């Protein structure tokens, strides 16, 4: 797998509360939220839980168990330190094994698949505006500028009972994966993202996506991972 990754604070915020992880078979982005820099703590907790997770023999159950564990850690952390009360994070995680992609997802970060130059979203946003869109009450463009676009319906750290979306697909040679936080897609359409992803080098593609989001004002932290599937990932 050839991977490029880039994270940037954006042009408005003072702190970067996003975090990400790139390991040989594991990719993840997390977008933290909460006052007093607590969002940074929440996103770091889920990323370290993933990095330290001991066993991946059964990827789907490992992903689920790890995110449930991270959810507990964040809730306990918030209880132990009142300055971190209310912290939470999104988590979008991809595990690549034997030609299969297993993914787990909570919140409004995204996982996309670019195959034969067509970009397809694999995750559903867990946000109020995404639900209004799904029920036909908002268009994509209205959702992008909606005053409540930051309100999540699901995030880690909010409740002990957390519903985690899981999915899996078979990968093919030359597939490209994109993981991103909403700082990217709040200012770029899927069509624009697809166009930038024609850049062959994954690191350059990641940098160009971040630059394009900043050129649109960079209203939020931006994190992207671009991963190209190689022959070794299909064995
Ligand atoms: Ca964000």
Question: In 87-136, at which residue ranges do the beta strands (DSSP E only) sit?
Answer: 88-89, 91-97, 100-106, 110-115, 118-121
- Judged against a pLDDT cut of 80, whether residue 116 lies above it is answered with yes
Ligand 1 mean position to 108 CA, how many Å? Answer: 8
Band (pLDDT 50/70/90 cuts) for residue 141 is confident
Q: Are 32 and 228 in contact (CB under 8 A)?
A: no
Tell whether the model's pLDDT for residue 140 goes beyond 90. Answer: no
What percent of the chain has pLDDT above 70?
A: 100
Q: Are 69 and 49 in contact (CB under 8 A)?
A: yes
The yes-or-no verdict on residue 61 having pLDDT over 80 is: yes
Q: Categorize the per-residue pLDDT at 150 as very low, low, confident or very high, splitting at 50, 70 and 90.
A: confident
> How much distance in Å is there from the Cα of 7 to the middle of ligand 1?
11
- pLDDT for res 21: 98
Q: Which domains does the chain have, with CATH numbers?
A: 2-234 (3.60.40.10)
pLDDT at 35 over 80: no
Whether pLDDT at 36 is above 80: no
Match 């970009």 to its residue by tokens.
Answer: 119
Nearest to 122 by CA among 77, 89, 171, 156: 171
Looking at residue 210, its pLDDT comes to: 98
pLDDT digits (tens, 9 = 90+) for 202-213: 999 999 999 999
For 170-193, the pLDDT digits (tens) are 999 999 999 999 999 999 999 999
d(CA 30, CA 224): 10
Mean pLDDT within 112-137:
96
Q: How many angstroms does the Cα of residue 181 sit away from the middle of ligand 1?
A: 6
Instruction: Please compute the mean of the pLDDT values over residues 122-136 and round it to a whole number.
Output: 95
- Residue 50 C-alpha to ligand 1 middle, in angstroms? 20
Q: How far is the CA of 228 from the centre of ligand 1 (A)?
A: 24
Range with lowest mean pLDDT among 120-129, 133-142, 160-169, 184-193: 133-142
Residue, of 42 and 143, whose pLDDT is higher: 42
Q: How many CB atoms lie within 10 A of CB 198?
A: 10
């Amino acid at each position: 797998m050839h991977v490029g990754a880039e994270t940037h604070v954006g042009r408005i915020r003072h702190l970067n509360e996003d975090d990400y992880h790139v390991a040989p078979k594991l990719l993840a982005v997390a977008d933290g939220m909460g006052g007093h820099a607590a969002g940074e703590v929440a996103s770091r907790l889920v990323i370290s839980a993933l990095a330290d997770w001991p066993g991946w023999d059964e990827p789907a159950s490992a992903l689920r168990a790890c995110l449930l564990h991270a959810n507990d850690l964040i809730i306990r952390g918030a209880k132990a330190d009142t300055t971190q009360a209310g912290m939470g994070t999104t988590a979008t995680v991809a595990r690549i094994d034997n030609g299969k992609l297993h993914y787990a997802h909570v919140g409004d970060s995204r996982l996309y698949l670019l195959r034969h130059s067509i970009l397809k979203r694999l995750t559903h946003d867990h946000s109020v505006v995404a639900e209004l869109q799904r029920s036909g009450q908002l268009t994509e463009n209205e959702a992008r500028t909606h005053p409540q676009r930051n309100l999540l319906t699901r995030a880690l750290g909010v409740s002990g009972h957390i519903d985690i979306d899981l999915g899996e697909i078979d990968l093919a040679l030359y597939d490209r994966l994109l993981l991103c936080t909403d700082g990217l897609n709040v200012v770029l359409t899927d069509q624009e993202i697809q166009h930038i992803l024609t850049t062959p080098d994954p690191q350059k593609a990641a940098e160009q996506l971040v630059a394009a989001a900043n050129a649109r004002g960079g209203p939020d932290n931006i994190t992207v991972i671009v991963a190209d599937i190689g022959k070794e990932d299909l064995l």
